[in-house]
Amino acid sequence: MSDFLASVERRAFKQAVFSVQEDESALDIVQDAMMRLAEKYAERPAEELPLLFQRILQNAIRDHFRRQKVRSTWTTLLSSMGITGDDEDADPLETLEVDEMVNVPASPAGQLEQSQVMAAIEEAVKSLPERQREAFMLRYWEELDVSETAKVMGCSEGSVKTHCSRATHALAKILRSKGITL
């Protein structure tokens, strides 16, 4: 179980960041999803863990948005009374180990160009509608097949194909407008 969780933590974190667009919340979501998987499904065979984890992660992301809606109501009410709840700024990325960089260009100019392209791609992915982003991340980031993605998303395989198609076309259009062709 620990080997599986170690192998998916960075990708799950990135997926959660794309969804909630907040590092701290994304880290909490991934940790909660990992705890749920370990507590409830530790006895399951290893081949079932990836789909179970993705389903738990997607549910945790949805739960985050539900809780956020309730909190924003209370925050609005409290802020109208002059009450604020500022937390200390902490960087959750410092807690993650950095893997050796593969595919890093040798020249500084190549590294700069690669980082700019990656930043543009990340921004483009963040701009996608939620279901398109979810389908795109599961299919192309997590490398799940269509049926696995449909199970995780709780929809039909046709819906997955539609969401992925729309996402890739939207991303291509956004990146082309910035002069990026892949």
The tens digit of pLDDT for each residue in 115-127 reads: 888 888 888 888 9
Number of domains making up the chain: 2
pLDDT score, position 175? 87
Q: Are residues 47 and 123 in the same domain?
A: no
Spatial contact of 58 and 134, defined as CB atoms under 8 Å apart: yes
Neighbours of 127 (CB within 10 A): 12
Q: Do residues 75 and 111 both lie within one domain?
A: no
Q: What is the pLDDT of residues 26-75, one digit of tens each?
A: 999 999 999 999 999 989 998 889 999 999 999 999 888 888 776 666 55
Domain assignment present for 158: yes
* Same domain assignment for residues 68 and 21: yes
Tokens of 12: 């799950």
Residue 122 lies in a domain: yes
Q: Quote the pTM value.
A: 0.52
Structural domain boundaries enclosing 139: 106-182
Residue 100 lies in a domain: no
Using the CB atoms, write b or e for 64-97: b if 16+ within 10 Å.
beeeeeeeeeeeeeeeeeeeeeeeeeeebeeeee
